[in-house]
Every structure is written in structure tokens, then in C-alpha cells.
Amino acid sequence: MSAVPASRTQVHHVARRARTAGWYLLLTALAVIILFPIYMMVVRALSTPVTYFGRGSPLYPVDVEWGVFRAAWDEGGIGRSMGVSTVATLLMTGGQVVTAILAAYAFAFLRFPLRRLVFVLFIGTLMLPIEVTLIPNVQTMRDLHWLNSFPGLVGPFLASALGTFLIHQGFRAIPTELLDAASLDGYGHMRFLTRVAVPLSKPVIASFTVIAFLGAWNQFIWPEAVSTETHWQTVQIGVAALSATTPDHSNIAFAGAIVASLPLVVLLVAFQRQLVRGLTAGAVKG
């Protein structure tokens, strides 16, 4: 071995390490930028507001008061609104998953006139922001006397174009021979759906379930519009209401926000893989 290629390899090696180090530096910086507000939320929740501001808003908690979480839960009404949110979120998630599976199945496996057009229109509703449909939908809820009720909170969100699209992609990855084999085996559509299509598409369905749960839990505009009574506030509305109180109690608002986000943190940690896969969906399953 001559010295020249050896040193070349070394140069190459160093360059690669430098590049890796650069990437890590960048990623660390990004992580800090993203995590800093969350850290500050914890600092503000734990610090008594008056003392904190007196110390000139430091980057660490002062005069730590742990009872603030309890206060947010009870007096702040976060406990009650979390109950409302939990029920509404479970209903919406369940509803979306079931209807998305059924709709996706129809689009993927049934032949009916104008199927492509209907599918495109259906998926096109993804483009509509909630604000567009807000006023007519609220009017409908009022006409149905569904304001301040679970049907009102969840009704318009029992179906999902995104879920239909994602699960449709998953179903399309199922070889058509399986459908042929199943129809010779005597499977009807319902049996094929439950015994073959859904079990084979578990990863996408799991991903969409997580996405649907996140979306439902984080809803703000809609529950704000249809729950006029405090009793029907969801947790996001509750947190917003808390933060609107006097600055003396801002620590309670921050504590409420932390409590409200805990279920999501748990969910993210538990279902990280499904979530990432869902976001990169389309390339589902081999």
C-alpha cells in the first residue's frame, strides 16, 4: 500500500466525520428551538407568578409550588373538560376509523359508476379548511338542538377524507389475487373486509388511528363554536379560558396546558412508529 491512497482515505474519513458532526449540531439546535417553549411552559407553571416576574423572568423556576396542577385540575376545571374531551375524542376517532375503513374498501374493491370522480371529490374535501364549513355546520347543529351535547361535538367529525385516503392506499397494496382467492373461497365483502383486508392493513389503520386521535384531541374552533356552556367545554377550550384569567394565576393556566398535553405525550411515545409511518403513508406494507 502506498502512502497516497492511505492519506486520501484518511482525508475522506475526516470529512465524513465532520459532516456527521455538522448534522448533529444542526439537529440539536432545531431540537432546542422546538423544546425551549415547552421547557418554559414547565418553568412558568411551577413558578409563582408574582415572585417570578419580581426576579426578572429567569430561565429557571422560582418559588416552586407543586399544588398548581391540582388547582388547574379542580378549580381550573381541567379535570371536567378532560372528561368531555376524552369521550368526544374516542367517539370521533372510533367513528373516523370505522367509516374510513368502509369508504376505503368501497373505493378500493367495489366497482360502481363514477367511482374515480366520487373518490376525487371526496379526497378534495381535504382542501377545505374547517372555517369554510363552520357557520353552516353550527347552524345545522343548532337546528338539530345539538349544541352543548356529544352529538354536536362529534357529529361532523365521524368521517374523514384523510383516513379514507390513507386506508385506501393500504387496501390497494393488497394483491388482487387475494380478492379472487377469497371470492372462490366463498368470502363475501364483509368477510373479506374483516378477515383479510383489515388484518393486512393493520399498520396503516394504526397510523391513522393515532393521527385521528391527535386531531380530535386538539380541536379548538369547532368545540368553541358548539359548546356555549362551561359544562361542555373540551380541554383545549378550558385551557384557553384559564389563560384568559389574571396574570396572577398564569401559573395555573400553564399547569392546565401541561395536563392537557399529557395524554398526547403518552400517545406519541407509545405510537411513535405508527405516527411516522402514517405521515409517510402510501408506501405501506410489502
Partner 1 sequence: MASVTLDDVTKRYGEVVAVDHMSLAVEDGELMVLLGPSGCGKTTALRMIAGLEDATEGTIRIGDRVVNDVEPRHRDVSMVFQNYALYPHLTVEKNIASPLLAREMHVDGEDGAVRKLSRTERKERVNDVARLLGLESLLARKPSALSGGQRQRVALARAIVARPKVFLMDEPLSNLDAKLRVQTRGEIVDLHQRLGTTIIYVTHDQVEALTMANRIALIEAGRLQQVGDPQSVYDRPANLFVARFLGTPPMNTVEGTITTTGGLGVRIGGVTVSLPPTPGDSRTNDGKTEARASASVGRIEQGRPVVLGIRSEHLQMLGGAMQEGGSSEAAQVASGFEPLLTGTVAHVEWLGHESLVTVAIGSGPPGARDGGTGSGAGSSVAITSSMPTDAVIGTGDSEGGDVPGSRTTIEVRLGADEQSPRAGATVTLFADPRHLHLFDLASGQRLAWDTHLQAAASR
**In the complex, which residues of this chain contact partner 1 (CB under 8 A)?**
175, 177-178, 180-188, 191, 195-196, 199-200
For residues 244 and 253, give the distance between their C-alpha atoms in angstroms, rounded to a whole number. Answer: 8
Q: For helices 202-217 and 161-172, what crossing angle results, to 10°?
A: 170
Minimum distance of partner 1 from residue 128's CB (angstroms) = 35
Minimum distance of partner 1 from residue 167's CB (angstroms) = 16
The H-assigned helical ranges of 149-249 are 150-154, 161-172, 176-184, 189-192, 198-200, 202-217, 221-226, 235-243
Between 68 and 284, whose beta carbon lies closer to partner 1? Answer: 284
Between 180 and 248, whose beta carbon lies closer to partner 1? Answer: 180
- Gap between the terminal Cα atoms of the chain: 45
Minimum distance of partner 1 from residue 188's CB (angstroms) = 8
Between 92 and 200, whose beta carbon lies closer to partner 1? Answer: 200
Minimum distance of partner 1 from residue 197's CB (angstroms) = 11
Minimum distance of partner 1 from residue 178's CB (angstroms) = 5
- 274 touches 212 (CB < 8 A): no
Which is nearest to 45 in space by CA: 32, 28, 62?
62
Between 1 and 190, whose beta carbon lies closer to partner 1? Answer: 190
Between 143 and 177, whose beta carbon lies closer to partner 1? Answer: 177
